[in-house]
Amino acid sequence: MSRSPVQIGITIGDINGIGPEVIIKSLLKLPRAARVNFQIIGSRQSLDFWSTKVKNTSWESLIKENGINAKIVEPSRLPGPVFNLRHPTENSGKIAALSIVRAAELASENKIDAIVTSPISKYAIQEAGFNFPGHTEFLAHLAGDKLPVMLMIAGKIRIAVATTHIPIKDVAAQLSVEMLCQKVKILQRELVLRFKINNPQIVLTSLNPHAGEGGKIGDEEIEVIGKAVTKLKAEGVAVLGPFPADALFSRGAENSAYDACMTMYHDQGLIPFKIFSRGRGVNYTCGLPFIRTSPDHGTAYDIAGQNRADESSMMEAIRVAISLGATNKTSR
């Protein structure tokens, strides 16, 4: 009995940024696979507009002439696109947000095996009435208010963040023993179930410089992170830390002795990750009932419409989604 094709849903992202451009470029470059179908979730008019920008042809001609297995899924109540390239608008935010909502519905209905989200503007979706600070929190809400963990991956490099899109001044107050334990367990479960890593080794970074110098530069390493590590070890989780982030990442990440690292805040993890991944990183959300990946960059409004966007990260996000989606399909 032949296996049915893997269904990959790709949201259109912000139509005034580079999302549609990198979708089109990726689909053109990826090897043709009979067992992979793409569902592009968004506006048909937008895909026609961007197909003309990228390849001077319509969307239908582009996929037909290049043998791409793709169809458009337009969400209901989708407004017509009003293009204002290089600027976030309420219109672009509504199209992006409704595409995300539809993608989550398709995943929950088992009509797609994985979601790849294109870059959005947080400002634009909030202007459209969707009050979420990013994809991670938005998808967690759509999945039933799950606790998500942002995991950045590039080959064997896996860097998670304990806190995501919050001001740096609020990070220490957000951290707690309970929250860290929950997030490390979610990360561990994802590494086992989706990435097929047995007994994954996880390390935690410190929050303060030099891991707090024994409490002289903050006590979060003693009172929060250290206690979380002790509790997790007692529960059988293979976890170490906290380690000073600068020392940990100065050794590189590709050939490290651990399977994943959890950093305490967004930039502590994403700065070294983007240096290590060299434009080919993938954002993966742990803790959802479906697979979600995305490129590790934003809307890049400054180059939108100039046909200069690099599709490397989007291609990697699609490849990871296909690989994990195929595994997920087999296990359902």
pLDDT for residue 252 is more than 90: no
Give the pLDDT confidence score for residue 227 in this predicted structure.
Answer: 98
Q: How far apart are the first and last CA of the chain?
A: 16
Span 47-58, pLDDT tens digits: 999 999 999 999
Q: Domain locations in the chain? A: 1-145+290-332, 147-287
Give the pLDDT confidence score for residue 30 in this predicted structure.
Answer: 92
Give the pLDDT confidence score for residue 1 in this predicted structure.
Answer: 41
In order of 42, 128, 146, 205, 208, the CA distances from 284 in angstroms are 21, 25, 15, 20, 26
Residue in 139, 136, 78, 137 with CA at minimum distance from that of residue 108: 139
CA atoms of 324 and 33, how far apart (whole Å): 15
CA atoms of 284 and 291, how far apart (whole Å): 8
Strands 282-286 and 149-154 turn out to be antiparallel
Mean pLDDT over 260-266 rounds to: 97
Give the pLDDT confidence score for residue 31 in this predicted structure.
Answer: 87
pLDDT for residue 3 is more than 80: no
95 Cβ contact partners less than 8 Å away, ≥ 6 residues apart: 12, 14, 15, 42, 43, 46, 78, 79, 81
**Same fold for the domain at 1-145+290-332 and the one at 147-287?**
yes
CA atoms of 315 and 319, how far apart (whole Å): 6
In CATH, the number for domain 1-145+290-332 is 3.40.718.10
Q: How confident is the model at residue 216 (pLDDT cuts 50, 70, 90)?
A: very high
CATH 3.40.718.10 holds for 147-287: yes
Give the pLDDT confidence score for residue 254 in this predicted structure.
Answer: 61
Span 77-133, pLDDT tens digits: 999 999 999 999 999 999 999 999 999 999 999 999 999 999 999 999 999 999 999
Q: Is the bond preceding 119 in cis, omega lying within 30 degrees of 0?
A: no
* Residue 18 phi, psi (nearest 5): -95, 0
